[in-house]
Amino acid sequence: MVGKYKVITLCGSTRFKEAFMEQQKRLTLEGNIVISVGLFGHSGDEEVWTEGTKEMLDDMHKRKIDMADEIFVINVGGYIGDSTRSEIEYAKANGKPVRYLEMTAEKEY
C-alpha cells in the first residue's frame, strides 16, 4: 500500500464541520490523500463572507476536484446545497467518481 494513494476531495456544506473532520480522518487512515475545505463559513469562519472570498474559495475547490481521483460528498441527512451540487456536476463532467457519506432515496446528483 505504501506509495500508491488515491486522492479524494471532500465536498459538502461547511455546516458539517465535525463530519468533515471525521471523514478526513477515516479516509486518511484507509490510505488516501484527502483534500478538504480550507474554511468552514457555515461553522464560524467569518472570513469567508468578506467581498470576493467565497467566490475565490468556490473556484479553488474546483481546482481541488481537478487534483483528485474522486470526490466524497459529506451529505449529512441527505443535504446537498447549491454549491455542493455544482461541485458534483463539475466532478462528473470531468470524469471523477462521486461517493456519498449517506445514500438517500432522492435521485443521485
For the chain, the structural domain boundaries read: 1-9+29-35+48-72+87-103
The pTM of this model reads 0.85
pLDDT at 33: 97
CA-derived radius of gyration, the chain: 14
Distance (Å, rounded) from C-alpha 37 to C-alpha 57?
8
Share of the chain above pLDDT 90, in %: 63
Q: For residue 34, what are the CA distances in angstroms to 4, 5, 7, 70, 94?
A: 13, 10, 6, 10, 19
pLDDT at 56: 82
Segment 85-98 shows an average pLDDT of 96
When the pLDDT of each residue in the chain is averaged and rounded to a whole number, the result is 87
19 pLDDT tier (thresholds 50, 70, 90): very high
Segment 79-97 shows an average pLDDT of 95
pLDDT at 106: 52
Q: What share of the chain is helix, strand, coil (3-state, %, to 5)?
A: 50, 15, 35
Distance (Å, rounded) from C-alpha 19 to C-alpha 80?
14
pLDDT at residue 108 is higher than 60: no
pLDDT at 98: 97
pLDDT at 71: 98
